[in-house]
C-alpha cells in the first residue's frame, strides 16, 4: 500500500505554481535551461546571475552557476528580467537537474 503522506494533493499546490500568469509557474516550464536573471537591489541597482534553472518555488528559484558549479538560491520577488536560452543546456554526463543537496 502506498504511503499517503508521500502523495502530493494538487489542491495543496499554490496557484502561483500552477497558473502561468504567475512568474513561478511560467519559469517552471524552463527548468534545465540556461538563464540570465537580473535582480533589482534597492531602488535602482541591477545585479545579474547566469546559471542553469534547477528549481522553482513559490518565492524562490535555484540556479546552478556555470562558472563554479555552486547552487544559488534566489528571491523571486527581486527578479526584474529573465533571459532564457532557446535550447536546453546539457551540463555533462553527471548533470542531474533533480540534484538535491
Assigned domain for 74 exists:
yes
Cell numbers representing residue 90 in the block: 546539457
The distance from CA 87 to its chain's CA centroid, rounded to whole angstroms, is: 16
Assigned domain for 5 exists:
no
State the pLDDT at residue 87: 72
State the pLDDT at residue 93: 41
Phi/psi region, residue 42 (left: phi>0; alpha: psi -120 to 50; beta: rest), is left
Q: What is the mean pLDDT of each run of 10 residues along the chain (101 residues)?
A: 52 85 94 96 95 96 93 96 83 52 47
Q: What is the CATH number of the domain that holds 21?
A: 2.30.30.520
Assigned domain for 55 exists:
yes
Domain span holding position 25: 13-85
Amino acid at each position: 500500500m502506498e504511503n499517503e503522506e508521500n502523495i502530493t494533493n494538487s489542491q495543496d499546490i499554490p496557484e502561483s505554481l500552477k497558473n502561468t500568469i504567475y512568474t513561478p509557474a511560467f519559469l517552471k516550464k524552463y527548468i534545465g535551461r540556461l538563464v540570465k536573471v537580473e535582480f533589482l537591489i534597492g531602488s535602482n541597482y541591477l545585479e545579474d546571475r547566469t546559471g542553469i534553472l534547477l528549481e522553482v518555488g513559490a518565492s524562490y528559484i535555484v540556479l546552478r552557476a556555470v562558472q563554479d558549479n555552486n547552487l544559488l538560491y534566489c528571491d523571486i520577488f527581486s527578479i526584474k528580467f529573465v533571459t532564457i536560452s532557446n535550447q536546453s543546456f546539457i551540463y555533462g554526463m553527471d548533470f542531474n537537474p533533480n540534484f538535491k543537496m
